[in-house]
Structure 1
Amino acid sequence: MAGRTAYTYLDYAASAPLRDEARAAMEAYDAQPWAGANPNSLHTTGRRAARALDGARRELAAAAGGGFRPAEVTFTSGGTESNNLAVIGLAEGARARAARRRRVVLSAIEHDSVLDLAGPLRARGFEVGLVRPDRDGVVAPDELDAALGDDCALVSVMAANNETGVLQPTGALARVAHAHGALFHTDAVQALGHVPLDLAEADAVSVAAHKLGGPVGVGALLVRGRAPLRPQSFGGGQEGGRRAGTQDVRGALAFAAVARALAASLDETRALVSGRARALAERLCAPGTGIVATVGAGVERLPGIVSVMVPALDSETLILALDQEGFEVSAASACSSGSLDASHVLLAMGIPRDEALGSLRISFDERVGEDDLARFSDTLIRIVAERSGARRP
C-alpha cells in the first residue's frame, strides 16, 4: 500500500486504502479549534464536538438505510467490537425479557468475530447452533426456519461473506427469525458502501470504516431502540449507555464522509467493479488454467471479490509467489503455528479440504484498473502453470 508503489494491492476486503474523502474529513477536523475535545463535556468546546459527532451519526444512518435513526448509531472501535456487542448484548437482552430464550443460532460461514463467540455464549449459559449454507454459500431461509424454535434469542447471519463475497438474503432471514420471536443481527462490514443493503427488518447491523476506505479503528453498531441490548463495557455511559468510552470524533467524521460518498455513487461504481470482477474471473477460470471458482457464476456477490481455488497448489505458495511478482492478495485458508488449514467457510459449503487449501481471494474497488487486473491474471496463470507439476503433499 502506501510507500510500496511497485506493488499492486488486491486485498481490499482485508482493509481498503484510505480514500480522499476520509483524509479530507480528518484534515478538516484537525483544523477546528475544538479538535481533540471530549464530546461528553458540557462546555462550549465539548458541545461543538458533540454536534459534529451527531452529524456523523446522521450521515452514517442515512448511508446504511434500513430506517435506522441517528440515535440508534453506536460508534465502536471496529467490526469485531460491533459484532461482540451485538451478539452477546442482544442474546443477554432477549433472555432477560424471556428466560426460555437461551439459544443463539449463527451461520457456519460467519467471520471469526462472530463464530468465536460460541464459547463465551456457552459460558454465559446459552446453547449455540449453526446453520449451514448450500454449495454456493447461501444460507436458505428454509434451512434457518428448520433450525429455530421458541427458545431462540438471536440469529446472526452476515450480509456478505468476507471470503467468497456471496450475498445473503438478510430480509428473508430476518423475517424467519422474527416469526420465531428471535432477534436478528447481520454483520454488514463487507457489504456497506458496495451493495444496497436490505436492513429494514434487521434489529442490529455491524459496520466498519476501514473496509470501504475509512480509517482503521472505527466502526458502528446500528441497533433499534426497541432491541434489548445489554452493554458489554462500563464506565462512563457514553453512546446512550450502550458502549462506554470517549468517542473518536475524528474517525467517526471520516467514516461518515466515506459512507456518504459511496452511497451517492453506489449504482455506477457497483456496475463498473462488477464488470471488472467478471472479466477477471472468466480469464482466471478459463479451461486449462488449473484455476476454478469457489461459487457458481450466477450467485449474487459483492462486486469486488473474486474467490478462486488452485487444487494443485496451496494458498501460501501462491501468495508468496504472487508477492514476489508484485501482487498482494490473501487466502481463505489460514496459517496458524506454521500449518495451513482450510477455510471454515469453504468447508461449510461442502468444498473438499484438498481443494479448499488452494483458495485465493482477490479483492478491489474502482480504484484498481483493468490493466492491473489483466497483468495479475496473466501472472497467476503463469505461476500455476509453472508450479502445478510439484503438487503439495
Structure 2
Amino acid sequence: MTSTTAPAQRAYVNLDYAASTPMRPEALRAQEAYDASDIAGANPNSLHSLGRKANVELERARRDVARSLGRSVRANEIVFTGGGTEANLLALLGIAQGVRRRDRTRTRIIVSAIEHDSMLDNLPRLHELGFETTVLKPSRTGIVEPHVLADAIDTDVALVSIMIANNETGVVQPIDELARVAHGAGALMHTDAIQGYLHIPVDVERLGVDALSLAGHKVGAPVGVGALYLRARTPFSPLGFGGGQESGRRPGTQDLRAIVALAAVARELSGKVAAHRERIRSLADRLYERLCSHPHIQATMGDWSSVDRLPGIVSIMVSGHESEELILKLDAAGFEVSAASACSSGSLDASHVLLAMGIPRDLALGSLRISFDDRVDPADLDTFARVLLDIVE
C-alpha cells in the first residue's frame, strides 16, 4: 500500500502592495461583526427599523472616513463608491460638467501625463462631451511643477486634476501649490489620492483641494469600496440616476459590509501615518541604496534621496533586462513584484509614466516596482535584494 504526501505549499513574499494589499485584521473583524449583527444584508435606505439601524452604521462610517481626511471635513462631503476608479470617474466627469453648467466659458480640463489610466482613459469621453483637455508633462524626477501649470492655465479651465503621489514611481506631488495656481485662475482642483491615502498625511484643508479620491484595497480594506471627498457647494453633475443614494450623487445601494471595513481601517491608521511613514521610508531607503549601488540598476526618478516619495514604493530600472523576465525570475524565487502599474501589466509597451518623465523606452522596459507597507518583514527585503542582485549578475 502506497501513501501520498501532499506537496508543501509554496511560500511567497508579496512585494506588490501598491497594486492591492491583504485585508487588515481591523477590516476582517469589522466584517465579521457586521455578518453577525441583525443588520447584515439590511438596506440602509429602508424606512423600517433594520434599515434605520443600518443607516446609523453607514453614517458612522462616513464620519470616520471624513475624519481621516482632516478635522474640517464634514460627513456629508463623503460619497461612497465602488472603488477608486469610480471615484476618479465621478470627479473628472461630474465636476467638469457641474462647473460648465455654472459657467459656459469653462470648457477645458487639465491633467498630468502621469495620471492613472482611470483618469487618462476617460479623456476621450470628455472630448465627446465638448471639453478640451491639456496634458502636462512632469519633470525628469516625475514632479508636475507649479510653474508648468501656471503657464498652461487660463480662465477657460474648469478643473485641474493631479494625483497626490504616483502609483508607479511613488513621487509625491506639490498639491497645495498646484491647488493655489488652479484656484488663482478660478478653476477647481481634484487629486487622486488613491495611492497616498493613509500612507502619507492627507488633509484636504492643507492641500486646498475641492475633491479627492481614495480606495480601500490600497490600505488593507476590501476590494470594491472607495470614496470621493466632494467639498460642500462644489459644482457636480451626477453621472447616473436611480435611487437617490449618497445624496443623489452616486445611485445604488451601498455595500455597508465593505464600507464599515474601510472605516475600521481609517480609524486604525489615521493616527499612525507619521510613525509608519518614518519606519517604512527607512526600509525603502535602505533597499534603494543597496540596489542602486549596482551599475545596472537606477532609480526611476534619478536621485531617490532628494525626492519626496511614498514610503513604501521602490521604483527602479534594470538596464539590459526586461521587466517580464525579471518578474518571472523573481516569482520563481518566491518574490511578487510588478512592472510599473499593475492595471496595465498586460501591455508589452513601456510605462506611460516613465516615458512622460523622459526615460528612454529601452530603459523603461526594464522597470520594476517593489511595494510594501508597515506589515513588511525587513528580512524579506534583505533577501529580495540579494536575489535580485544575483539575477542581474
TM range (shorter): over 0.9
Aligned residue in 1 for 2:151: 146
* Deviating 4+ runs (over 2 angstroms): 333-339
1:357-390, CA deviations, whole angstroms, 9 ceiling, x for partnerless residues? 10000000111111000000000111111xxxxx
Q: 1:14 aligns with which of 19, 23, 27?
A: 19
1:12-34, CA deviations, whole angstroms, 9 ceiling, x for partnerless residues? 00001110010011011111111
Aligned residue in 2 for 1:258: 265
Aligned residue in 2 for 1:228: 235
Please tell me whether residue 128 in structure 1 is matched to residue 133 in structure 2: yes
Aligned residue in 1 for 2:50: 45
Residue pair 2:108, 2:131 contacting (<8 A) in 1 also: yes
Q: 1:354 aligns with which of 348, 362, 365?
A: 362
Question: 3-state DSSP class of the match of 1:340?
Answer: coil
Whichever residue aligns with residue 239 of structure 1, its letter is E
Q: Following the alignment from structure 2 to structure 1, what is the Cα–Cα distance between the partners of residues 116 and 343?
A: 16
Q: 1:327 aligns with which of 329, 332, 335?
A: 335
Residue pair 1:334, 1:343 contacting (<8 A) in 2 also: no
TM-score normalised by the chain length of structure 2: 0.95
Residue pair 2:339, 2:345 contacting (<8 A) in 1 also: no
Please tell me whether residue 341 in structure 1 is matched to residue 349 in structure 2: yes
Question: 3-state DSSP class of the match of 1:121?
Answer: helix
Q: 1:78 aligns with which of 83, 86, 89?
A: 83
Residue pair 1:284, 1:377 contacting (<8 A) in 2 also: yes
Q: Following the alignment from structure 1 to structure 2, what is the Cα–Cα distance between the partners of residues 198 and 168?
A: 14
1:242-284, CA deviations, whole angstroms, 9 ceiling, x for partnerless residues? 0000001111110011111111211211111111100011111
1:110-151, CA deviations, whole angstroms, 9 ceiling, x for partnerless residues? 000001111000000000101111111111111111110000
> Matches of residues 262-273 of structure 1 in structure 2 within 5 Å?
262-273=269-280
1:334-362, CA deviations, whole angstroms, 9 ceiling, x for partnerless residues? 89797621111111111111111100000
Q: Following the alignment from structure 1 to structure 2, what is the Cα–Cα distance between the partners of residues 4 and 255?
A: 31
Q: Following the alignment from structure 1 to structure 2, what is the Cα–Cα distance between the partners of residues 150 and 54?
A: 38
> Matches of residues 297-316 of structure 1 in structure 2 within 5 Å?
297-316=305-324
Q: Following the alignment from structure 1 to structure 2, what is the Cα–Cα distance between the partners of residues 166 and 322?
A: 24
Aligned residue in 2 for 1:27: 32
TM-score normalised by the chain length of structure 1: 0.95
Aligned residue in 1 for 2:3: none
Whichever residue aligns with residue 195 of structure 1, its letter is I
Aligned residue in 2 for 1:180: 185
Residue pair 1:334, 1:342 contacting (<8 A) in 2 also: no
Whichever residue aligns with residue 202 of structure 1, its letter is V
Aligned residue in 2 for 1:163: 168
Whichever residue aligns with residue 184 of structure 1, its letter is M
Report deviation, 1:197.
1.6
Residue pair 1:335, 1:341 contacting (<8 A) in 2 also: no
Give the 3 Å change call, closer, same or farther, for CA 270–4 of structure 1 in structure 2.
Answer: farther
Aligned residue in 1 for 2:372: 364
Q: Following the alignment from structure 1 to structure 2, what is the Cα–Cα distance between the partners of residues 306 and 372?
A: 14
Residue pair 1:208, 1:218 contacting (<8 A) in 2 also: yes
Please tell me whether residue 237 in structure 1 is matched to residue 236 in structure 2: no
Give the 3 Å change call, closer, same or farther, for CA 5–46 of structure 1 in structure 2.
Answer: farther
Q: Following the alignment from structure 1 to structure 2, what is the Cα–Cα distance between the partners of residues 170 and 4?
A: 45
Aligned residue in 2 for 1:291: 297
Question: 3-state DSSP class of the match of 2:46?
Answer: coil
Report deviation, 1:287.
3.7
Structure 1: which 5+ residue stretches go unaligned? Answer: 386-393
Give the 3 Å change call, closer, same or farther, for CA 335–88 of structure 1 in structure 2.
Answer: closer
Whichever residue aligns with residue 138 of structure 1, its letter is I
Whichever residue aligns with residue 121 of structure 2, its letter is D
> Matches of residues 97-112 of structure 1 in structure 2 within 5 Å?
97-112=102-117
Residue pair 1:333, 1:340 contacting (<8 A) in 2 also: no
Aligned residue in 1 for 2:95: 90
Question: 3-state DSSP class of the match of 1:341?
Answer: coil
Q: Following the alignment from structure 1 to structure 2, what is the Cα–Cα distance between the partners of residues 119 and 86?
A: 15
Question: 3-state DSSP class of the match of 1:265?
Answer: helix
* Pairs aligned (count): 382
Q: Following the alignment from structure 1 to structure 2, what is the Cα–Cα distance between the partners of residues 157 and 337?
A: 22
Give the 3 Å change call, closer, same or farther, for CA 214–333 of structure 1 in structure 2.
Answer: closer
Whichever residue aligns with residue 253 of structure 1, its letter is V
Q: Following the alignment from structure 2 to structure 1, what is the Cα–Cα distance between the partners of residues 168 and 348?
A: 16
Q: Following the alignment from structure 1 to structure 2, what is the Cα–Cα distance between the partners of residues 262 and 336?
A: 29
Residue pair 2:19, 2:342 contacting (<8 A) in 1 also: no
RMSD, aligned CA = 1.6
Q: 2:255 aligns with which of 248, 251, 268?
A: 248
Structure 2: which 5+ residue stretches go unaligned? Answer: 1-7
Whichever residue aligns with residue 136 of structure 1, its letter is T
Give the 3 Å change call, closer, same or farther, for CA 50–13 of structure 1 in structure 2.
Answer: same
Question: 3-state DSSP class of the match of 2:306?
Answer: coil
Residue pair 1:215, 1:254 contacting (<8 A) in 2 also: yes
> Matches of residues 270-281 of structure 1 in structure 2 within 5 Å?
270-281=277-288
